[in-house]
Amino acid sequence: MFGICNLAMIPLRFEPSDKSEIVSQVLFGEHFEILEQLKQWSYIRMQYDDYEGWIDSKQLQPISESSFKQLSTEAIILNSDLIEYVTAPNNLLIPIPLGSSLAFINHNEINVANFDFEGIKTSGEKAKSNLINTAFMYMNAPYLWGGKTPFGIDCSGFTQMVYKLNGYKLLRDASQQSKQGEALSFIEESEPGDLAFFDNDEGAITHVGIIMENNYIIHASGKVRIDRLDHLGIYNAEINKHTHKLRVIKKII
């Protein structure tokens, strides 16, 4: 079985319970495979990054296997404005966040609700030079564990969405992203748009951010913010101390 998100966003949970933590979000237009179904809950695997979790079955829209396969081969088309809306047949406006997927709208056999969209789109063409400008669109977005939108986002959701909007594919979690790309030896070798990863006292990768010019970094910590980056890690000038310990710098592109 297969499905697609026809709501602004669906919470993806660790366990089949409304009380369970949100590990990620399914944004409008994203499609997935349904691996298991309980009475109220469905365990799904996202097509884009193979991330898995539970969603409320009342919030999914089934699609056929052929539609799933067709969508999986389509070029990415994304909403590129902070907030836009799609229009349903009854003229009901549904708000959708930055990064929502729109590829299915032009296909009648997939277009489960005959949505119309007249906003700004991006085709996801590779553009490393635009990564920082895209990152600025999320500035001051509040930190939200599992979040992927300007209304709440976590550190790896932030990097994944910024890269996705510019045609590059990152996995969902910081620990997964840290296994992608080419490691650099020094900060001085990095370019704007490269990723910096940070670990905890046990050596586990727990944080990621996007490197900017002149030893700055933009990342989600409390909110999407800009801080200094040095060989020790992230330095927060507001509290006069390092907040994250640098582990590795990666050139993903």
Could you report the per-residue pLDDT of 194-242, keeping only the tens digit for each?
999 999 999 999 999 999 999 999 999 999 999 999 999 999 999 999 9
Structure tokens at 159: 């990097």
Q: What is the DSSP letter of 101?
A: B
Strands of the sheet with 2-4, listed across from one edge: 22-27, 9-13, 52-56, 41-46, 31-37, 2-4, 61-63
The rounded percent of the chain whose pLDDT value lies above 70 is 98
- Name the DSSP class of 193: T
What the block records as the tokens of 119 is 């906003």
Identity at 117, one-letter amino acid code: F
pLDDT < 50 regions, the chain: none
Q: Which pLDDT does position 107 carry in this prediction?
A: 73
Q: Which phi and psi (to 5°) does residue 187 adopt?
A: -60, -35
Could you give the CA distance from residue 42 to residue 197 in angstroms, rounded to a whole number? Answer: 33
CA distance 100 to 187: 33
Residue 111 has a pLDDT of: 64
The per-residue pLDDT for 109 is 67
